[in-house]
Every structure is written in structure tokens, then in C-alpha cells.
Amino acid sequence: MAGPKLVVLISGGGTNLQALIDALRAGELPAEIAAVISNRGDAYGLQRAAQVGIPTRVVDHRHYPDRPTFDRALLAEIEAWQPALVPLAGFMRVLTADFVTHFRGRLLNIHPSLLPRHRGLDTHRRALQAGDREHGASVHFVTPELDGGPVVLQARVPVKADDDEATLAARVLTKEHVIYPLAVRWVLEGRLVWQDGQVLYDSRPLAQPLQLDELDG
């Protein structure tokens, strides 16, 4: 289906990529995934893309002497497809400021915590260790600061007394698969815009992240 082009970046299983594919095929995401690019050749997400005929590319960070050289190669591979938006979906590389600045508001990421809590890795273990009663996922525009960009949409889940890292991660992942296609659609529709360093939602400055369970309709 034609529409604005996405290039999705992955590193692993690609369940968020699958959620975008499913939303697109259900007619809920007016876009086309032009390509899926992974920094790891063994990423199962590459098979998910191939199964539905989406072109795949691997830009393996181990083949480059340093981060800036890798980022330049990745940038060139992405821009070959001329995407309107580049969702990071389980992409596990820290990107250089030059890379992020080049894409200026065309980079989205989904992070498995209620940012600004628990930036970085091992978020579910850290939420359990901190005794958090609530946890969740956040979609944010990507800025040079790791997991520091403006959060646009969040979904919350309860932390249960008998949770372990796996049960909590699974509960969060289910919500990720709802909010990511929604946020990608809103950005493509121009409802969510990154402009002059702030986020506009329906043309009004977004002071707080939108909360999935507070959305009407």
C-alpha cells in the first residue's frame, strides 16, 4: 500500500516491527515500510520483514572502526529509501549527535519504561528492584541524549507482587505494540510534530506525554 515511507531500524526479535506491519496490513497505519535495517545479521526481525516482502539490509556495526563511521554508513543506507519517518524498534545502538541531528525529528523510539524513570537498559529488573508499583512504555522523539527526547505517548501497567522480569516485560511489551503504531500514525498524519525543540499535538504544545488509558475514543 502506498503512503509515507518508513524505514524501521531493529537489532533483535522485532515484535514492535511486527506490530507496525500488522497495523499497516489492518489499514490502521497509512504508510509503507520501505525497508527494515538491522545492525545485526541474526535479528529475527529481518525474517519478519522478509516474510511480508519488505526489503532488508544489515549494517553490521562490527564492520566499522568506530561509531561515527558506522553511523555515516547507516545514515546513507536509510536515506537511500528517502523515509518520512525512521522508527527505532528494539534498536540497541546509541546514535551519535550528528546522526540524530541529521534526522531532526524523523526519529522515534519506544523505550520499555515510564520515562524519565529508568532510562537505559534492564528497565524491568530495575523497576522491580525499585519496588515500582507502576511501570510501562514510552514513545519519544530521539535526541542526542540517550532516552532523553520528548515523550509523546505512554502506556502504564501495574507491577504485581509475584512479577519477575519476564512477566513484567511481557505485560509491558503488549502495551508497546499498541502505542507504537498509534504514535507513528499520529506523527505521519502531522498530529504530533517536533518543531523548534518542542512537541505539538493537534497544533498545541504538548506539556505532558499523552497517556493511552486517558485517550478518548
Pick out residues in 14-43 that bind ligand GRF (CB under 6 A).
14-17
Please choose, out of 70-78, 110-118, 125-133, 144-152, the segment that lies near ligand GRF by the rule CB under 6 A.
Answer: 110-118
Rounded Cα gap, residues 180 and 151, in angstroms: 12
Please choose, out of 11-19, 24-32, 154-162, 209-217, the segment that lies near ligand GRF by the rule CB under 6 A.
Answer: 11-19
Considering the complex, state which of residue 70 and residue 180 has its C-beta at the smaller distance from ligand GRF: 180
Extract the C-alpha cell encoding 28. Answer: 490502521
Rounded Cα gap, residues 163 and 123, in angstroms: 14
Q: By CB under 6 A, is residue 13 in contact with ligand GRF? A: yes
Q: By CB under 6 A, is residue 132 in contact with ligand GRF? A: no
Q: By CB under 6 A, is residue 147 in contact with ligand GRF? A: no
From 117, 138, 139, select the one nearest 128 (Cα to Cα). Answer: 117
> Distance from CA of residue 100 to its chain's centroid?
14
Among 89, 182, 192, 199, binds ligand GRF (CB under 6 A): 89
Please choose, out of 7-15, 71-79, 96-104, 142-150, the segment that lies near ligand GRF by the rule CB under 6 A.
Answer: 7-15
Q: By CB under 6 A, is residue 75 in contact with ligand GRF? A: no
From 205, 143, 154, select the one nearest 182 (Cα to Cα). Answer: 154
Q: By CB under 6 A, is residue 136 in contact with ligand GRF? A: no
Residues 6+ apart with CB under 8 A from 101: 144
Rounded Cα gap, residues 74 and 57, in angstroms: 10
Rounded Cα gap, residues 188 and 94, in angstroms: 24
Return the active site residues: 111
Q: By CB under 6 A, is residue 176 in contact with ligand GRF? A: yes
